[in-house]
């Protein structure tokens, strides 16, 4: 099992490099993961998306798609990609401490 070190603490990661235990997540950890993903600062629109994703996951057990993010989070697609370059659904899920979205097989 892969781990990442944050403030001297080893946090377990899953096969996709996302948090293995959702309970490990906190806002500081989110900032650390974001920095590793090339997002130096999490602004309030970032948090709006992250919190929306966590709420949906809590209720439904899977992170929302980009289409749903756009429709329901109040952030348009273009902005989503500016906030989370290179794949907002996957990247925001990672920062939000959620598993990689299942998408479809």
| Tokens found for residue 64 | 């929302």
Q: For residue 59, state whether it binds other proteins (rule: CB under 8 A).
A: no
14, 26, 67, 74: residue in contact with other proteins (rule CB under 8 A): 67
Structure tokens at 38: 């090339």
The DSSP line for 40-87 is ----HHHHHHHHHHHHHHHHHSSPPPHHHHHHHSS--HHHHHHHS-S-
24, 54, 77, 98: residue in contact with other proteins (rule CB under 8 A): 77
Binding piece for other proteins, criterion CB under 8 A, among 3-11, 30-38, 50-58, 74-82: 74-82
Rule CB under 8 A: which residues touch other proteins? 15, 62, 65-68, 71-72, 77-78, 80-81, 85-87, 90, 102-105
């Amino acid at each position: 099992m892969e781990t990442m070190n944050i403030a001297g603490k080893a946090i377990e990661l899953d096969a996709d490099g996302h948090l293995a235990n959702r309970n490990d997540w906190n806002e500081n950890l989110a900032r650390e993961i974001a920095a590793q993903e090339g997002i130096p600062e999490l602004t309030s629109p970032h948090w709006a998306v992250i919190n929306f994703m966590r709420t949906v996951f809590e209720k439904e057990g899977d992170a929302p798609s980009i289409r749903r993010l756009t429709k329901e989070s109040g952030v348009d697609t273009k902005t989503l990609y500016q906030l989370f370059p290179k794949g907002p659904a996957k990247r925001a899920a990672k920062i939000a401490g959620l598993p990689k979205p299942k998408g479809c097989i």
